[in-house]
Amino acid sequence: MFKGFRQFIMRGNVIDLAVAVVIGSAFGSVVTSFVTHILTPLIAAVVGKPDFSALTVTVNGAVVSYGIFLNALISFLLVAAAVYFFMVAPMNAWKARAARSPIPADPTTKKCPECLSEIPIAARRCAQCASVIAVQVAPGNA
- Helix (H), strand (E) counts: the chain: 5, 4
> Which pLDDT belongs to residue 137?
56
Task: Say whether pLDDT at 25 is over 80.
Answer: yes
Kindly state whether residues 32 and 47 are assigned to the same domain: yes
Kindly state whether residues 40 and 84 are assigned to the same domain: yes
Kindly state whether residues 9 and 77 are assigned to the same domain: yes
pLDDT band at 12 (very low <50, low <70, confident <90, very high): low
Kindly state whether residues 88 and 132 are assigned to the same domain: no
Mean pLDDT score, 118-126: 87
Domain that holds residue 122: 104-142
Least confident window among 20-24, 49-53, 76-80, 135-139: 135-139
Mean pLDDT score, 29-54: 78
Mean pLDDT of the chain: 81
CATH of the domain at 34: 1.10.1200.120
CB 82 within 8 A of CB 39: yes
**What is the three-state SS of 58-97?**
EECCEEECHHHHHHHHHHHHHHHHHHHHHHHHHHHHHHHH
Domain count, the chain: 2
pLDDT band at 136 (very low <50, low <70, confident <90, very high): low
Kindly state whether residues 19 and 76 are assigned to the same domain: yes
Kindly state whether residues 111 and 69 are assigned to the same domain: no
Task: Say whether pLDDT at 92 is over 80.
Answer: yes
Kindly state whether residues 21 and 90 are assigned to the same domain: yes
pTM assigned to the model:
0.48
